[in-house]
Structure 1
Amino acid sequence: MHSQYRRTTRTTRRSARRLTSLGIAAALGAGLLSGCAGDGGSTAGNGKTEVTVGLFGTFGFKEAGLYDEYERLHPDVVIKENVTAQNADYYPALLNHLTAGAGLQDIQAVEVGNIKEVATLQADKFVDLSDAAGVKKENWLDWKWEQATTEDGKVIGLGTDTGPMAVCYRKDLFEKAGLPTDREKVSDLWADDWAKYVDAGETYAENAPSGTSFMDSAAGLYNGAVSSYAERYYDESGELVYQDSEAVETSWDLSMRAAEGKLSAKLQQFTPAWDQAYANGDFATVVCPAWMLGYIESKAGKKNADTWDVADAPRPGNWGGSFLAVPENAKNREEAVKLAAWLTAPEQQAKLFQKRGSFPSSQAAFALPEVEEATHAYYGDAPTGKIFTEAAKGVPVQILGPKDQIVAETLAEGIRQVEQQGKSPEEGWDSAVKSIDNALG
């Protein structure tokens, strides 16, 4: 393969397949983080069995009332949730606890970017949930079930949510730029090809409303495009192949085209500047998984209600999603398995989508009314249930590697160097490769 933005000579390296993680050394030195500081509980003071759940961020179980419902159904159980704000802090601490064999909660969440490493290197430390009561493989999307399955068929985590992608767009800005505003016609603009999404951006730029850009960030485009491929950073043999990956090359080149074509607002996602840009109406599109809808609404605010809509992504892809795992040495392992199975059952996943916007990984939940009939008033009553269901069904079974998250985040930083700092595409790529080499040893 050849590209004007890629080095002609590339090298590949086999994954060391050993326990490493960004920040792990610091975590080991700092000791146990507060989110996972205590051992799993055994018995609460009132005689009830206390099941502890270790999470990062907001999963929504508590907020959607699922813990309360479970405790009503099981009066002898009380649930205690321990949350670390960021997975960047949570995951190194989890690895630390697994190594030490202490400090683990009865249930531990695992983010999709880390699930392969856990399934490859830590599988013996988790319960096989494939035959747990109430767990049926056919309830889950095939690709979601596969992500937490080891080579010998052990399932070390039950999928919670997924992040099937769409493109959220500003109808008012599209109209001013002479583009269609109907969601089906917008979807047709870039159907089946992320390059057509960039084409639409170039058309937008010709008549862009003053002070606006077509997309929020070139890194966001890269993430959407690369997520629509089965093979990205590793091949089926476990080889680290990102430097020779069609997915990476194509997606990188598209992001460079957007950055150099000034189609992007040059923003870094999940920063105050990005948040403010929603409120200001500074960009017309953003690649948005289901869980981002609520985020956009909260940042764009009431004044922008019904200016946003939701169109299909050019190709199905997934961004985000997690799993619930039960450590082998959990103090209340039996009760933890029951709770994990219940929280990830189709009915609970549908409720979580209805109340919190977390899209189910359970395909059995798709036919439930909370999902199938779902619309979103903020986005012009867009049929979000149907849009994201179709996207989820089309997501490829991705080949995951133990260091996917590091590679993805480092490539995104290379894109930002081009987009925000004015580096050339070659400089951004070389910088990312050097950083990945340093991180993976």
Structure 2
Amino acid sequence: MPIARAAKRATVRLGAVVLAGALLAACGSGDSSDSSDSAGGKVTLNVDLFGSFGFKEAGLYEEYQKLNPDITIKQSDTQDEADYWKSLQTRLAGGGGLADVQGVEVGRIASVTQQQSDKFQDLKEFGADKLKGEFAEAKWSAATTEDGKILGLGTDVGPEAMCYRTDLFKQAGLPTDREELAKKWATWDGYLELGKQYKEKAPAKSAWLDSVGSLYGIMIGQEKERYYDASGELIYEKNPAVKEAWDTSVAAAEAGLSAKLDQWTPQWNQAFAAGSFATIPCPAWMLGYVKGQAGDAGKGKWDIAKLPGGAGNWGGSYLSIPRAAKHKEEAYQLIEWLTAPEQQAKVFQKQGNFPSSTGAIETIAGAKDDYFSGAPIGQIFGDAAKESPVQVLGVHDQNVMQQITNALSEVERKGTSSDKAWQTAKKGVDNVLG
């Protein structure tokens, strides 16, 4: 999920998590203080996540507990990844209240490997190094430190597409065929132009997209370099890709194409069922989120098409074990099982979270989703995953992302000028990075 996702998995994993992002107010505190084991040698494993990883929804916890009767799994979750990460940092600093398993969004993994390797368990001590060939190289290497410590196992990646409401498109006189739409919005300019056409005949109280923050997030996910270069230098101010994503997002706001709904808020959640927006850039992990918010009434009203501007990635997450975890060996056995190809394939079938396991990717290649009008999600997201750039991840990627999307929110909500909002974003980045 996660995103953030404005950059999460996204929050959700993004991103996303992002895939989100995220992904809203906290659903759980993440406090594992009640993790005392029951009598008879049974072990309670506390799993603290953000957004929707899909394990519970796909029945994996129940399955694992049947296979391991002495294990009980308790999950706590925070929907907003930024809130989750802030809480996790507080608990890491204090050394208490940590779960046996902690989720880490891809935008944070560089912080873990470069700045907090002493806070997380080296999974190589449990034999994780034998799994290297089962994961995409970029996914594996991002969670590995320079001296070879393995600090997380990958759950999913966030290949991107465009989710849209076919019923709203019909009401506005727009085509609904996913192949035709992919041609019409092959570029982001084409996407905005189609949005202007939608606005002219749109149903009452329905905008073209949810927020310009989500537009920015999905566009920046199409770039190899975003906020840092490969040497670790902060480059967001001079990166033309950041400027292009910013300018396009500002143009969407100024054209009145946005519903002005910050992602992961209660209002945004309600908008899925209300038809408050016709399109939403969606990494694979967001499919389960859409289903959860739009409900049964949304089945068959949504479809998925190829993303404008080429392939990209938003979000994706890891499962890590804090050094202070109570049951590290049992926790490792759980996360190895949860991230195995068979389980990743099950999560994709249920929630749409796209696998980071190469074996699982092959398994789900032909998958379709009836909720999204029979869209060939295995092919759409599989192609996007193959074509997505291997992104350079920086220590404060997620923090930079958050400040930029916060500033874009001012543009769409308050009419703040692009130049003034950009200065606000820069000031925010400077404050966060110190």
* Shorter-normalised TM range: 0.7 to 0.9
State the AA in 1 paired with 2:151. Answer: I
Distance 1:72 1:282 in 2: 42
| Alignment of 1:166 onto 2:200 | no
**For residue 391 of structure 2, what is the aligned residue in structure 1?**
398
Match of 2:348 among 330, 350, 353: 353
Does the CA-based 8 Å contact 2:32-2:46 persist in structure 1?
Answer: no
TM-fit CA distance, 1:313:
0.9
Which digits, 9 at most, give the CA deviation of each residue in 1:136-184, with x for residues without a partner?
Answer: 2232223322321223332211111222211012223334545432111
Which digits, 9 at most, give the CA deviation of each residue in 1:23-67, with x for residues without a partner?
Answer: xxxxxxxxxx952342876x5412134433233344332343322
| Alignment of 1:104 onto 2:98 | yes
TM-fit CA distance, 1:324:
0.8
Distance 1:189 1:124 in 2: 50
Task: Evaluate the alpha carbon distance shift between residue 69 and residue 229 of structure 1 in structure 2; reply closer, same or farther with a 3 A threshold.
Answer: same
| Alignment of 1:91 onto 2:85 | yes
Distance 1:205 1:188 in 2: 20
Task: Evaluate the alpha carbon distance shift between residue 95 and residue 266 of structure 1 in structure 2; reply closer, same or farther with a 3 A threshold.
Answer: closer
Task: Evaluate the alpha carbon distance shift between residue 421 and residue 152 of structure 1 in structure 2; reply closer, same or farther with a 3 A threshold.
Answer: same
TM-fit CA distance, 1:126:
2.3
Q: For 1:147-226, what aligned pairs fall within 5 Å after superposition?
A: 147-191=142-186, 193-205=187-199, 208=202, 211-226=205-220
Moved more, 241-250 or 330-339: 330-339
TM-fit CA distance, 1:298:
3.9
**For residue 145 of structure 1, what is the aligned residue in structure 2?**
140
TM-fit CA distance, 1:304:
4.4
**For residue 128 of structure 1, what is the aligned residue in structure 2?**
122
Distance 1:178 1:83 in 2: 41
Task: Evaluate the alpha carbon distance shift between residue 299 and residue 108 of structure 1 in structure 2; reply closer, same or farther with a 3 A threshold.
Answer: closer
Q: For 1:220-259, what aligned pairs fall within 5 Å after superposition?
A: 220-259=214-253
Q: TM-score scaled by structure 1?
A: 0.83
Match of 1:114 among 88, 94, 108: 108
**For residue 287 of structure 1, what is the aligned residue in structure 2?**
281
| Alignment of 1:363 onto 2:389 | no
Task: Evaluate the alpha carbon distance shift between residue 105 and residue 211 of structure 1 in structure 2; reply closer, same or farther with a 3 A threshold.
Answer: closer
Which digits, 9 at most, give the CA deviation of each residue in 1:385-407, with x for residues without a partner?
Answer: 22112222222211111221121
Task: Evaluate the alpha carbon distance shift between residue 255 and residue 70 of structure 1 in structure 2; reply closer, same or farther with a 3 A threshold.
Answer: same
Q: For 1:373-392, what aligned pairs fall within 5 Å after superposition?
A: 373-392=366-385
Secondary structure of 1:136 counterpart: helix
**For residue 313 of structure 2, what is the aligned residue in structure 1?**
318
State the AA in 2 paired with 1:341. Answer: E
TM-fit CA distance, 1:286:
1.1
Does the CA-based 8 Å contact 1:157-1:324 persist in structure 2?
Answer: yes
Which digits, 9 at most, give the CA deviation of each residue in 1:320-361, with x for residues without a partner?
Answer: 222111233433322222221111111111112223332222
Does the CA-based 8 Å contact 2:30-2:98 persist in structure 1?
Answer: no
Distance 1:84 1:281 in 2: 25
Q: TM-score scaled by structure 2?
A: 0.84
Question: Across the two proteins, how many residue pairs are aligned to each other?
Answer: 405
Task: Evaluate the alpha carbon distance shift between residue 180 and residue 85 of structure 1 in structure 2; reply closer, same or farther with a 3 A threshold.
Answer: closer
Distance 1:237 1:40 in 2: 42
Does the CA-based 8 Å contact 2:79-2:264 persist in structure 1?
Answer: no
Q: What 5-or-longer segments of structure 2 have no aligned partner? A: 1-27
Task: Evaluate the alpha carbon distance shift between residue 330 and residue 295 of structure 1 in structure 2; reply closer, same or farther with a 3 A threshold.
Answer: closer
Does the CA-based 8 Å contact 2:404-2:422 persist in structure 1?
Answer: yes
Does the CA-based 8 Å contact 1:39-1:105 persist in structure 2?
Answer: no
State the AA in 2 paired with 1:261. Answer: A
State the AA in 2 paired with 1:434. Answer: K
Does the CA-based 8 Å contact 1:129-1:337 persist in structure 2?
Answer: yes
Q: What 5-or-longer segments of structure 1 have no aligned partner? A: 1-32
Does the CA-based 8 Å contact 2:216-2:249 persist in structure 1?
Answer: yes
Does the CA-based 8 Å contact 2:80-2:264 persist in structure 1?
Answer: no
Match of 2:428 among 429, 435, 440: 435
RMSD: 2.6
Task: Evaluate the alpha carbon distance shift between residue 393 and residue 88 of structure 1 in structure 2; reply closer, same or farther with a 3 A threshold.
Answer: same
Task: Evaluate the alpha carbon distance shift between residue 304 and residue 229 of structure 1 in structure 2; reply closer, same or farther with a 3 A threshold.
Answer: same
TM-fit CA distance, 1:109:
1.7
Match of 2:409 among 408, 411, 416: 416
Distance 1:223 1:426 in 2: 19
TM-fit CA distance, 1:232:
0.5
Secondary structure of 1:377 counterpart: coil
Task: Evaluate the alpha carbon distance shift between residue 334 and residue 373 of structure 1 in structure 2; reply closer, same or farther with a 3 A threshold.
Answer: same
TM-fit CA distance, 1:311:
0.2
Task: Evaluate the alpha carbon distance shift between residue 101 and residue 64 of structure 1 in structure 2; reply closer, same or farther with a 3 A threshold.
Answer: same
Distance 1:84 1:280 in 2: 24
